[in-house]
Amino acid sequence: MKKNINKKQVMSLLLAGFISLSGFGSFATTVSAADKSTVATTATAFPKPGTNLKIHFHYSDKYTINGANGQLLPVFQKLQEVTGYKLQNAANPAAKKSLDEFNLQAAERFPADIYGGNNTGPLMTKYGMQGAFVPLDKYFKYMPDFKKFLDAHPDVKMAITAPDGHIYYAPYVPDGGIARTYFIRTDWLKKLNLAVPKTVDELSQVLQAFKDKDPNGNGKKDEIPYFNDKWEEVVRLANLWGARVYGTDTFAVRVCLDKTSTKMYHAWTADEFRVALKNMARWYKKGLIDPEFITRKANTARQTLLIKDNTGGMTHEWVASTSTYNENADILAAVPDFKFEVILPPANGSEKGFEEHQRMAAKPDGWGISNNCKTPEAAAALMNYIFTKDGRVLANFGIEGLSYDMVDGKPIFKESVIKATGGTNNYLYGNVGAQLPIGYWQDYSYEAQWTNEVGKAGVKLYNDSKVVINNQTPILNFSKAENTTYDKINAPLNLYMDEQIQKMITGQLDVDATWPAYLKKCKDMGVDTLVTTYQSAYDNLKKKK
Ligand code: CA
């Protein structure tokens, strides 16, 4: 009889089984006689029951699928229960660099079963075309939900399809467009009787007033008018003077599309970038930009300058997490009228301001199956589960009863998650295993739940004002030859540019005096070839459309 059950029926039976059990604690102790028959049908949705899958997933230079206690994180424990597979972490939890870890595995031809992490997507495509990763499309029989998702999202499908026509990884698909916005201390504006700056000149005057007029009221000139959590984000200030800085939501991508979405160019060699650097150097000299922006430890500026010191005046950061400082108990105890609100990108003279940063259609993150995996159909079925309705809830919200409750049919985070010390995301990454950049479809409602009203108003403001640009560099899957060129040029070129641009902003090098030699060195290092490589991959992508 079982043979006659089609796959859809099996899936719904299986999901029914999962849902009926999910209200209880552990699967193992609550499977009743009736449920056992349901679990037995997983053989079809999840072939090769009992398979052992080694997962090498290392991301953000820090996290694996295991928690700090060395045990599988709850999401992966649940995945074991649902799929009937045994999952095992294969990544070194003490490793400090995720990409180094991935490259070490490449040198050993990927001995584990499943690989992934942030920025590993293009690498899996590259190694996949060399035979080291399994083409997922050959296993679509076991991935009906993933296939259905791709059919409904052709942009994502195009972004992850390799030049040889195969798909070598399931990507992390972000949800919701606007991610970073400008924030300013509106309580300081009020205190100094200043209006919200609408132009770059007005902003310059506002930041100067923050610097000079002691808005934090401690009698010291200790205010840091503009700051960011990462130095690369400080460079994005060049947007204010009309220059593009990053092509995508990745600091390593600096080849951008022109306004007509036709021609690629390197943003960091454009003349408007030179002009922007001169303005940034001027601001730095006047003390308007964080004097420690290069040496400050990454991801500490907001904590230090807003909570600890009450000296930070303005930033351009993640809208959800930044908005939550408005309800930070430590801040409000010290500064009861604290307000850090979203403002639109100021206009540069007659040119309307723009927002460069946004979430991508698909991140270059996710996971894929090594060619050494003895049971690729099992690995494919596991990855497919994440694209089912329940799998999506699991990947976004974690475990019912632990990290969320169902309210009116919707997963709602528990207070302990929303108010977690160190932020909701870090709690989900390290303690739950949700929101990890595995192959999953993000659900924006996960973030909306902990976005403060200030952040929600900001997102609406940016949407209504249509300030977000629409010519981001698409994810390009390079051919083997293009990959070789990219590998040879991009990282060393970025390193050289980083060093020179830092020196120009901080005044160690004069922008105009340095520029010709800087451009020549960039050319010597292959910047034109890099742009040509992007252009030809982009032209190929357009042909596919
Ligand atoms: Ca002060």
207 C-alpha to ligand 1 centroid (Å): 13
Spell 406-436 as b/e; 16+ CB within 10 A means b. Answer: eeeeebebeeebeebeebbbbbbbbbbbbbb
Q: Which tokens in the block code for residue 501?
A: 């641009």
Distance, in Å, from the CA atom of 243 to the CA atom of 249, rounded to the nearest integer, reads 16
Asked if the model's pLDDT at residue 213 lies above 90, the reply is: yes
310 C-alpha to ligand 1 centroid (Å): 9
Identify the weakest region by mean pLDDT among 53-67, 167-181, 248-262, 468-482: 468-482
Q: What is the CA radius of gyration of the chain?
A: 25
Q: What is the pLDDT of residues 526-544, one digit of tens each?
A: 999 999 999 999 998 888 7
501 C-alpha to ligand 1 centroid (Å): 30
Identify the weakest region by mean pLDDT among 41-55, 220-234, 261-275, 318-332: 41-55
Taking Cα atoms as reference points, which of 115, 116, 53, 111 lies closest to residue 84? 53
219 C-alpha to ligand 1 centroid (Å): 5
Asked if the model's pLDDT at residue 17 lies above 70, the reply is: no
532 C-alpha to ligand 1 centroid (Å): 50
Query: What region does 371 belong to: left with phi over 0, alpha with psi -120 to 50, or beta?
Result: alpha
Res. 477 pLDDT band, cuts 50 70 90: confident
Asked if the model's pLDDT at residue 304 lies above 70, the reply is: yes
Q: What is the pLDDT of residues 284-299, one digit of tens each?
A: 999 999 999 999 999 9
DSSP H helices, 194-264, are 200-212, 231-235
Q: What is the per-residue pLDDT for 76? A: 98
Place of tokens 């000299």: 285
Asked if the model's pLDDT at residue 196 lies above 50, the reply is: yes
272 C-alpha to ligand 1 centroid (Å): 34
Asked if the model's pLDDT at residue 417 lies above 80, the reply is: yes
Q: What is the pLDDT of residues 374-392, one digit of tens each?
A: 999 999 999 999 999 999 9
283 C-alpha to ligand 1 centroid (Å): 19
Distances (CA, A) of 153 to 93, 139, 148, 317: 34, 19, 9, 28
88 C-alpha to ligand 1 centroid (Å): 52
Q: CB neighbours of 54 closer than 8 A, spacing ≥ 6? A: 88, 89, 90, 111, 112, 113, 114
188 C-alpha to ligand 1 centroid (Å): 11
Asked if the model's pLDDT at residue 39 lies above 60, the reply is: no
220 C-alpha to ligand 1 centroid (Å): 4
Q: CB neighbours of 104 closer than 8 A, spacing ≥ 6? A: none
Q: C-alpha 193: how far from its chain's center?
A: 37
The three-class DSSP label of residue 175 is coil
**Percent share of the chain, pLDDT over 90:** 81
Q: CB neighbours of 198 closer than 8 A, spacing ≥ 6? A: 344, 346, 347
449 C-alpha to ligand 1 centroid (Å): 34
Distance, in Å, from the CA atom of 100 to the CA atom of 120, rounded to the nearest integer, reads 11
Place of tokens 């990507």: 171
Residues paired with residue 72 on neighbouring β-strands, in sequence order:
66
Res. 444 pLDDT band, cuts 50 70 90: confident
Asked if the model's pLDDT at residue 494 lies above 70, the reply is: yes
Q: What is the per-residue pLDDT for 478? A: 85
Q: What is the per-residue pLDDT for 545? A: 63
Averaged pLDDT for residues 434-456: 92
Q: What is the per-residue pLDDT for 44? A: 60
Place of tokens 């995945």: 79
Distance, in Å, from the CA atom of 62 to the CA atom of 68, rounded to the nearest integer, reads 11
213 C-alpha to ligand 1 centroid (Å): 8
Place of tokens 């004002």: 465
130 C-alpha to ligand 1 centroid (Å): 59
HSE at residue 484, side-chain half, CA atoms within 13 A, is: 4
Give the mean pLDDT of the chain: 90
168 C-alpha to ligand 1 centroid (Å): 54
DSSP string, 33-74: HHHHHHHHTHHHHS-STT-EEEEEE-BTTTB-SB-TTSSBPH
For residue 130, give the amino acid letter: Q
Instruction: Enter the pTM of the model.
Output: 0.76
Contact of 450 with 413, CB cutoff 8 Å: yes
285 C-alpha to ligand 1 centroid (Å): 19
Q: What is the per-residue pLDDT for 232? A: 97
The three-class DSSP label of residue 208 is helix
Averaged pLDDT for residues 60-65: 93
287 C-alpha to ligand 1 centroid (Å): 13
Q: What is the per-residue pLDDT for 419? A: 87
Q: What is the per-residue pLDDT for 23? A: 30
Residues paired with residue 351 on neighbouring β-strands, in sequence order:
348
Distance, in Å, from the CA atom of 247 to the CA atom of 228, rounded to the nearest integer, reads 19
Distance, in Å, from the CA atom of 147 to the CA atom of 167, rounded to the nearest integer, reads 11
210 C-alpha to ligand 1 centroid (Å): 9
Which of 170-179, 185-194, 418-427 has the highest mean predicted lDDT (pLDDT)? 185-194
217 C-alpha to ligand 1 centroid (Å): 5
Q: What is the pLDDT of residues 121-158, one digit of tens each?
A: 999 999 999 999 999 999 999 999 999 999 999 889 98
Identify the weakest region by mean pLDDT among 265-274, 418-427, 506-515: 418-427
Averaged pLDDT for residues 93-120: 95
Asked if the model's pLDDT at residue 189 lies above 90, the reply is: yes
Contact of 345 with 13, CB cutoff 8 Å: no
Q: Higher model confidence: residue 545 or residue 509? A: 509
